[in-house]
């Protein structure tokens, strides 16, 4: 008699739990609004620009943009596999190869900013004030082994890392030794490591400005065309991957390169940091601002 | 599927041609893991035995703390160690952050409670009659303790193996306090994350295969160590 009551109570509790889980699961499945997968770099994501801009696009198109923030290398690989609908990276040469190989339909200019060479305020290698990036890198190689500081590289084949490597190449140096550290991680982690070691590193200006308060590192580089950092957006080629949402990707490109959005891009960061993180550079923007 | 198979093939070639980068990562992993295991066992086993035998006022509370330590999220341990060792933290002067020392420290904090907990349970499971028996045969305190521990050795070996498994598989804490620096703090697990993020799948598959092999070899060794004791039922 007692056994029966116990069994039915157990059964009731169990079916309540299952029902609850089912309801939660159903609630998780949202309505059928379109989804667009955007693969971009960690530096773009960490700047907060997309969080600022995308909600308006999502509302306008009744869509959801899922942002995959990975290194440039992985973003390009994801684009090649068709695991994203559109990519936004900053590695122009690799982007152009991407389009030439047929993975992307076309590359669109979006915006640009600068890389910066960061280092401790004490600047033991004495690179502050050297306008040229190559000269700075030559000094780093010469001074760092004895200067008690080091250089921290991202070492992850990202856009920033590619740029760092080309700068070593321009200075004719193959960096190696205890003074050259490689984290294999994103900009945020690499900045943390560089800060802890009070070491030199390269960063995009956006990530640096957003982390500036927590870091004891200064911008030591000047203007140098080698530090120019252009961003491009590329919809994935539907001929290559028929499942991609090419129409929505195209709409996103149109929206991002439109005058209104470009204006917002050029204002992004001014309120918080006193300078904009990106300079607008789409074709449409350039046409209106000769 | 082809991609995966190709990755596995390239992984094999990386391992069997003793690729420099891969070997460096394996050597560092073993150095850090074994050091952490030895230290964790040195702390955990005596602690477990002590908790099993000793009766004191707040014993239950101590055991509750131990259980908490066993289940505690390892990545939070990593965060705490990071905050302590950071330049702006109380132990920043040590210079341990982003060195193997920090990784070993974090892993000892993570694994010692696990070893202690399982050791305690193994020792407590030994039949108390054994103690009376040993005494009645004239054994002194030390001999009684050693007899009980002999009986518990299978469980204690499992405790250490569990600790080693935890240490070998740790990613988050080790990434946070070690920094995955190439050539100095990059271990199998953090390298797997990096190579996967970079799309170098043949390398991350190689890491995974080595981790699996290490785990299996360790388990084999453990079964051998447990020897005849495993046959006794």
User: In this complex, do B198 and A189 lie within 8 Å of one another by their Cβ atoms?
Assistant: no
Closest residue to B186, CB basis, from A157, A184, A196: A184
Q: Structural domain boundaries of chain B?
A: 2-230
**Enclosing domain of residue A213:** 114-227
- Token pair, residue B62, equals 């101590």
Which of A67-76, A166-175, B48-57, B65-74 is least confident? A67-76
Residue B178: the pLDDT is 94
Quick check: A157 contacting B, CB < 8 Å?
A: yes
Name the residue facing A74 among B87, B184, B198 (closest C-beta). Answer: B198
Q: Which fold has domain B2-230?
A: MetI-like fold (1.10.3720)
State yes or no: pLDDT of B55 exceeds 80.
Answer: yes
A217 interaction partners in chain B (CB closer than 8 Å) = none
Query: In which band, very low, low, confident or very high, does the pLDDT at B232 lie, cut at 50, 70 and 90?
Result: low
Judge whether A11 lies within some domain: no
Kindly state whether residue A27 falls inside one of the protein's structural domains. Answer: no
For residue range A146-188, list pLDDT tens digits in order: 888 999 999 988 888 989 998 999 889 999 999 999 999 988 8
Q: Is A165 exposed, middle or buried (0-12, 13-18, 19+ CB in 10 A)?
A: middle
Q: Would the pLDDT of B83 be above 80?
A: yes
Which residues make beta-bridge pairs with A203? A116
The rounded mean pLDDT for chain A is 89
In Å, what is the CA distance from A124 to each residue of A177, A185, A249?
A: 18, 25, 48
Is A47 in contact with A187 (CB distance < 8 Å)? Answer: no
Two tokens, residue B159: 């405790």
Residue B135 reports pLDDT greater than 60: yes
Cβ(A97)–Cβ(A168) under 8 Å? Answer: no
Residue A6 has pLDDT above 80, yes or no: no
Q: Inter-chain contact B183–A182, Cβ cutoff 8 Å?
A: yes
Nearest to B199 among A73, A183, A193 (CB): A73
Q: Are residues A145 and A194 in the same domain?
A: yes
Backbone angles phi, psi at A279, to 5 degrees: -110, 125
- The per-residue pLDDT for A28 is 57
Q: What pTM value is reported for the model?
A: 0.77
Same structural domain, A118 and A220: yes
Using an 8 Å Cβ cutoff, are A273 and A209 in contact?
A: yes
Residue B38 Cα, gap to closest chain A Cα (Å): 28
pLDDT in tens, B168-225: 999 999 999 999 999 899 999 999 999 887 778 888 999 999 999 999 999 898 888 8
Q: Is A181 on the interface with B (CB under 8 A)?
A: yes
pLDDT given at position B21? 86
A106 shares its domain with A41: yes
Strands A151-153 and A200-204: parallel
Distance from C-alpha of A140 to C-alpha of A237, rounded to nearest angstrom: 43
**Residue B194 and residue A184: Cβ atoms within 8 Å?**
yes
Contact B98 A185 (CB under 8 A): no
State the pLDDT at residue A213. Answer: 87
Residue B25: pLDDT over 90: yes
CA-based nearest distance B193→chain A, Å: 9
- Over residues A127-153, the mean pLDDT reads 89
ipTM: 0.76
Do A107 and A234 share a structural domain?
yes
Q: Do B86 and A70 touch (CB under 8 A)?
A: no
Alpha-carbon gap: A226 to the closest alpha carbon of chain B (Å) = 24
Is A73 in CB contact (< 8 Å) with chain B?
A: yes
Q: Same structural domain for residues A103 and A130? A: no
Average pLDDT over residues A29-40: 77
pLDDT for position B130: 84
Residues A195, B194: C-beta atoms closer than 8 Å: no
B199 vs A74, A184, A189: nearest CB: A74
The answer, for A122 touching chain B at a CB cutoff of 8 Å, is no
Rounded-to-integer distance, Cα B154 and Cα A241, Å? 56
The separation between CA B58 and the C-alpha centre of its own chain, rounded to angstroms, equals 28
Q: In the structure, what pLDDT confidence band is assigned to residue B102 with cuts at 50, 70 and 90?
A: very high
- The verdict on a CB contact (< 8 Å) between B87 and A196 is yes
Q: A210 and A83, same structural domain?
A: no
Residues of chain B in contact with residue A73, where contact means CB-CB under 8 angstroms, are 198-199
Q: In chain A, how many domains are there?
A: 2
B-side interface with A, Cβ within 8 Å?
86-87, 97-98, 179-184, 186, 190-191, 194, 197-199
What is the C-alpha to C-alpha distance for residues A98 and A84, in angstroms, rounded to an integer? 14
pLDDT digits (tens, 9 = 90+) for A179-217: 999 999 988 889 999 999 999 999 988 889 888 888 999
Rounded to whole angstroms, the Cα distance separating A9 from A25 reads: 24
Give the pLDDT confidence score for residue A18 in this predicted structure.
85
Q: Which of A176, A193, A227 is the last residue of a domain?
A: A227
Domain identity same for A203 and A234? no
Percent of all residues in chain A with a pLDDT value above 70, rounded to a whole number: 95
The shortest C-alpha distance from A260 to chain B (Å) reads: 34
Residue of B nearest to A72 (CA): B198
d(CA A250, CA A272): 31
Q: Is A124 on the interface with B (CB under 8 A)?
A: no
End position of a domain, from candidates A227, A243, A265:
A227
CA distance B135 to A115: 76
**Residue A17 in domain:** no
**From CA A71, how far away is CA A56, in angstroms rounded?**
26
Contact A181 B182 (CB under 8 A): yes
Here the tokens at position A76 are: 């390009």
Dihedral class, residue A245 (left if φ above 0, else alpha if ψ from -120 to 50, else beta): beta
* Cα B81 from Cα A85, distance rounded (Å): 40
- The pLDDT value given to residue B138: 83
In a domain, A21, yes or no: no
Q: Does A196 touch chain B (CB under 8 A)?
A: yes
CA distance A127 to A204: 18
Residue A6 lies in a domain: no
Task: Tell me the mean pLDDT in the region B127-154.
Answer: 84
Q: pLDDT value at position A151?
A: 96
- Candidates B1, B2, B178, B181: best to mutate against A (most CBs of A within 10 A) is B181
Q: What is the pLDDT of residue B233?
A: 52
Judge whether residue A107 has pLDDT over 60: yes
pLDDT at B148 over 60: yes
Residues A191, A161, single domain; the answer is yes
Q: How far is B164 from chain A (nearest CA, A)?
A: 26
Strand blocks (E) in B151-229: none
> Residue B198 and residue A157: Cβ atoms within 8 Å?
yes
Give A227-257 pLDDT, tens digit per residue: 999 999 999 999 999 989 999 999 999 999 9
Domain contains A28: no
Selected residue with higher pLDDT from A97 and B8: A97
A189 touches chain B (CB under 8 A): yes
- The model's confidence at residue A3, banded by pLDDT at 50, 70 and 90, is low
Answer yes or no: is pLDDT of A2 > 60: no
Return the residue of B nearest to A158 by Cα: B198
Per-residue pLDDT tens digits for A54-90: 999 999 999 999 999 887 888 898 999 899 999 999 8
B136 contacts B76 by C-beta, under 8 angstroms: no
pLDDT confidence of residue A5: 66
Question: What CATH number does the domain containing A58 carry?
Answer: 3.40.190.10
Q: Give the residue on A whose Cα is nearest the Cα of B98.
A: A193
- Residue B11 scores a pLDDT above 70: yes
Using a pLDDT cut of 70, give the percent of chain B over it: 97
């Amino acid at each position: 008699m007692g056994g029966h009551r116990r069994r039915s109570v157990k059964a009731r509790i169990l079916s309540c739990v299952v029902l609850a889980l089912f309801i939660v699961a159903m609630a998780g499945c949202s309505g059928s609004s379109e989804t667009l997968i955007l693969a971009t770099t960690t530096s773009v994501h960490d700047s907060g620009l997309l969080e600022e801009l995308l909600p308006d696009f999502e509302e306008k198109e009744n869509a959801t943009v899922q942002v995959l923030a990975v290194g440039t290398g992985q973003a390009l690989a994801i684009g090649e596999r068709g695991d994203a609908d559109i990519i936004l990276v900053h590695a122009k040469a690799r982007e152009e190869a991407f389009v030439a190989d047929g993975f992307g339909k076309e590359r669109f200019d979006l915006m640009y900013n600068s890389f910066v060479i960061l280092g401790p305020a004490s600047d033991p290698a004495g690179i502050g004030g050297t306008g040229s990036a190559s000269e700075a890198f030559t000094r780093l190689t010469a001074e760092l082994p004895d200067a008690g500081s080091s250089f921290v590289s991202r070492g992850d084949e990202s856009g920033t890392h590619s740029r760092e490597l080309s700068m070593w190449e321009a200075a004719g140096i193959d960096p190696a030794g205890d003074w050259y550290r490689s984290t294999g991680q994103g900009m945020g982690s690499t900045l943390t490591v560089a800060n802890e070691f009070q070491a030199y590193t390269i960063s995009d200006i956006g990530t640096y400005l957003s982390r500036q308060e927590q870091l004891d590192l200064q911008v030591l580089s000047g203007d140098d065309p080698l530090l120019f950092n252009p961003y491009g957006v590329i919809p994935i080629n539907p001929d290559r991957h028929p499942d991609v949402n090419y129409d929505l990707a195209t709409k996103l490109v149109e929206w991002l390169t439109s005058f209104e959005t470009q204006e917002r891009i050029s204002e992004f960061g001014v309120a918080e940091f006193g300078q904009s993180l990106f300079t607008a550079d789409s074709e449409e923007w350039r046409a209106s601002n000769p | 599927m082809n991609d995966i198979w190709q990755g596995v093939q390239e992984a094999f070639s990386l391992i069997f041609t003793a690729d420099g980068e891969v070997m460096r990562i394996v050597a560092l992993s073993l150095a850090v893991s074994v050091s952490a295991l030895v230290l964790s066992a040195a702390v955990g086993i005596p602690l477990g035995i002590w908790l099993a035998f000793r009766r004191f006022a707040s014993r239950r509370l101590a055991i509750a703390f131990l259980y908490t330590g066993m289940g505690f999220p390892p990545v939070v341990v990593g965060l705490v160690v990071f905050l302590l060792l950071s330049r702006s933290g109380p132990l920043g002067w040590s210079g341990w952050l982003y060195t193997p020392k920090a990784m070993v420290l974090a892993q000892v904090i993570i694994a010692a409670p696990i070893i202690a907990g399982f050791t305690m349970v193994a020792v407590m499971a030994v039949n108390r009659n054994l103690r009376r028996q040993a005494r009645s045969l004239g054994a002194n305190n030390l001999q009684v303790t050693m007899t009980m521990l002999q009986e518990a050795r299978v469980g204690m070996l499992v405790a250490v193996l569990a600790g080693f498994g935890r240490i070998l598989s740790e990613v988050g804490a080790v990434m946070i306090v070690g920094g995955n620096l190439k050539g100095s703090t990059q271990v199998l697990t953090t390298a797997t994350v990096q190579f996967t993020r970079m799309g170098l799948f043949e390398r991350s598959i190689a890491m995974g295969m080595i981790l699996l092999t290490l785990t299996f070899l360790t388990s084999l060794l453990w079964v051998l160590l447990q020897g005849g004791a495993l046959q006794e039922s």
